[in-house]
Chain A
Amino acid sequence: MAIAGAGQLNLHESPCWGSRSVDCFEKLEQISEGTYGQVYMAREIKTGEIVALKKIRMDNERGFPITAIREIKILKKLHHENVIKLKESVTSQGAKDEQGRPGKCCPIPINNLLLGATKYSPAVDMWSVGCIFAELLHGKLIFPGKDEPEQLNKIFELCGAPDEVNWPGVSKIPWYNNFKPTRPMKRRLREALGNQEKAPATATTRRKGQTTEITAFTASCRLPPIQSGQAHAQMRPGPNPPLHGSQPPVAAGPGHHHGKPRGPAGGPGRYPANGTNGGFNHQNHGGGYSSGPYPPQGRGAPYGSSGMPGAGPRGSGGSGYGVGAPNYSQDGPTEVLVLDVALT
């Protein structure tokens, strides 16, 4: 059996084929760091356009990261002024980059694992979907915790505190005993999200039901596949053939809270009436979710083996861009994903 070296395919020359160099951009500051890459605010030198630059760590075992592929797949399908658009890919020496087309940011939660959990699962993704949906309904962040304890507290306050009754196995999650609430906390999701003024009454009722359904299932981490499919179907009206013929049973492993620590709540200034600076506003991320006093459990968690397809933007989708930066009045941010591909 012959072994073909990388050089034989001329892959040294061609993988960057058609791609510009990352040198076309000037990094301004790091916006955030996600499970598999950092996000920078950058400026295209030639045009002065502000972009989001996303660097993606490459996985030698699995090749081009599945999470990045799924992110690209989803981004390519989304066409909305509030959703960032993918622009092109650029390369740099020893690394490859992608960048997004200008577009407005949407508040996408950063996927993270709380309570010391170490494994992503479909339940984590469903939690994410529930959070996004609730935030769309609510109009602002629903769990604006600055750090993990605060984050968890916010979650407990809204969703009720987890215990062995509503979440069998929760007490076995590593950090559960450190964080479990000292007083009983009742679920008040319906009360908190149930009376949105803007939504028509019927829609409110329907959405409320969905929100409750999604978060209820995710809280127990027992979202059955069929329910999952329904949740998606409900959220996407119109002709929308299923992405996948079948979905695997949701693993019944330990559940994971899926936090979204990303800065202060939407107070004044989060959605400024007139975006004057048009720049990123990410520096106030409350320490970021990877720099808190607790281990960044989300980092490096192998994803992919148990991932549920099409479950919305997961880590990559959420890792940074758009977070807290909704004030792009016209062109919006451009995203750049840096792929760490050693071209040696």
Chain B
Amino acid sequence: FNDKDDEYIESLIQREISTTTSSSDYRITDQNNWLRCARLNAIEWIFNTRTLFGFQIHTAYLSVVYFDRFLSKKSIDHGKLWAIQLLSLACLSIAAKMEECRVPVLSEFPTQDYKFQSKTIQRMELLVLTTFEWKMTCVTPFSYLSFFIHKFYGECIPKGLVSKA
């Protein structure tokens, strides 16, 4: 590794820290079993929808990062399942717009228990975006993975290595 690589990794770590430290107040405690279940359902929905649309795994991961980041900054009242579902929808939609080549219209996203108007989803997207102060690029493990794979394999990256990882 040369200095430039070190510098890059360092910048990744710095950026990762800068977006995650604020989530220290976001803890799912035992008392908050409801949120734990709701979150697991949301993650399941995100990954199912990812499969449905053929999104990259990275996109789903990013959605979950957004989901957690949002809840670290704002709370959702106990029992407001519809809000959780709206949040997961907005997070996946934004992540798809960040990462995917083809993004379906909002009405094509599968519904869970609640059906939302596109306008409502749009507004939730906006809420998420402003809550993050428009800092939507998150450093995820994938950021490191791509770098190291590229480093180790150079130009001849084995097919499917990233997806296997």
Contacts and interface: CB of A to CB of B under 8 A. Distances in A.
Interface of A: 1-6, 8-9, 11, 14-19, 58, 60-64, 66, 69-70, 72-73, 76-77, 86, 88-89, 96, 98, 238-239, 241-245, 247-248, 304-309, 339, 341-343
Contact of A76 (B102, B114, B136, B146): B136
**Interface majority SS (helix, strand, loop, mixed), chain A:** loop
A245 B125 contact: no
Given A64-B94, A76-B135, A247 B101 contact: yes
Interface of B: 4-5, 8, 56, 58, 74, 82-83, 86, 90, 93-94, 97-103, 105-107, 111, 113-127, 129-131, 133-137, 143, 146-147, 150, 162-163
B118 A61 contact: yes
A106 B83 CA distance: 41
Nearest to A69: B97
Contacts of A77: 137
A96 B127 CA distance: 11
A326 B120 CA distance: 39
Given A9-B86, A11-B124, A77-B137, A60 B131 contact: no
A88 B121 contact: no
Given A6-B120, A96-B126, A245-B58, 7 more contacts: A63-B122, A69-B94, A69-B98, A73-B98, A89-B134, A242-B146, A245-B56
Contact of A9 (B5, B83, B107, B113): B83
Given A9-B86, A61-B105, A305-B102, A239 B120 contact: no
A244 B122 contact: no
B111 A1 contact: yes
Contacts of A18: 130-131, 133
Given A239-B4, A245-B58, A14 B127 contact: yes
A60 B119 contact: yes
B130 A19 contact: yes
B123 A15 contact: yes
Nearest to B129: A64
A185 to B, nearest CB: 34
A70 B97 contact: yes
